């Protein structure tokens, strides 16, 4: 099972310069550029498709954030503009929010209901998905 690496967003968009005389499919990084952004990310528990690499976004200048909840649990999560494979639950609340001006609610896998992170809404709307609860698709 391959877990989603915590790479900066720019790593998905950077490609090395073309190799002189090589066909596009033979150029270093061509596969990552063509496949990477379209790669599906699945629930690590049940395999249900959750989102895609192309939905990675930055909030506060970063894709990956580390936060501690009021109970002392530490979460490393990535921000995504869309996650069609998630369901949200609970009333939106700004209590203990990690992003001022944003209310949050729980986000879970639509198939197995495993907690995958949170949906934040305010000035912008995005999912904060716990990275070790996602795996790269085939």
CATH of the domain at 18: 2.170.150.20
pLDDT at 36: 62
Q: Is residue 1 part of a domain?
A: no
3-class DSSP state of 50: strand
Q: Please write the tens of the pLDDT for every residue from 50-62.
A: 999 999 999 999 9
Q: Is residue 2 part of a domain?
A: no
Say how far apart CA 16 and CA 129 lie, in whole Å. Answer: 29
Q: Is residue 4 part of a domain?
A: no
Instruction: Read off the pLDDT of each residue in 22-33 and give the average, rounded to a whole number.
Output: 34
Residue positions counted in the chain: 138
Strands (E), the chain: 40-43, 49-52, 64-68, 74-80, 86-93, 103-109, 115-121, 125-130, 134-136
Q: Is residue 3 part of a domain?
A: no
pLDDT at 138: 64
pLDDT at 23: 33
pLDDT at 137: 81
Provide the number of structural domains found in the chain: 1
pTM given for the model: 0.73
| Lowest-confidence segment of 21-25, 63-67, 108-112 by average pLDDT | 21-25
Instruction: Print the domain residue range for 38.
Output: 9-136
Alpha helices in the chain (DSSP H): 9-13, 30-35
- DSSP conformation letters of 109-123: ETTT--EEEEEEESS
Q: Does residue 1 surpass a pLDDT of 90?
A: no
pLDDT at 68: 96
Q: Which residue has the higher pLDDT, 1 or 82?
A: 82
């Amino acid at each position: 099972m391959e877990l989603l690496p915590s790479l900066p967003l720019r790593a998905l968009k950077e490609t090395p310069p073309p190799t002189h005389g090589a066909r596009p499919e033979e150029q270093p990084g061509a596969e990552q550029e063509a496949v990477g952004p379209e790669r599906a990310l699945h629930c690590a528990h049940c395999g249900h498709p959750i989102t895609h690499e192309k939905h990675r976004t930055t909030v506060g200048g970063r894709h990956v954030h580390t936060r501690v909840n009021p109970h002392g649990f530490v979460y490393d999560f990535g921000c995504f503009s869309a996650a069609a494979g998630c369901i949200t639950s609970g009333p939106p609340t700004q209590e203990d929010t990690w992003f001022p001006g944003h209310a949050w609610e729980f986000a879970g896998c639509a198939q197995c209901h495993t907690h995958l992170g949170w949906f934040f809404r305010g000035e912008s709307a995005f999912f904060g998905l716990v990275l070790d609860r996602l795996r790269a698709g085939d």
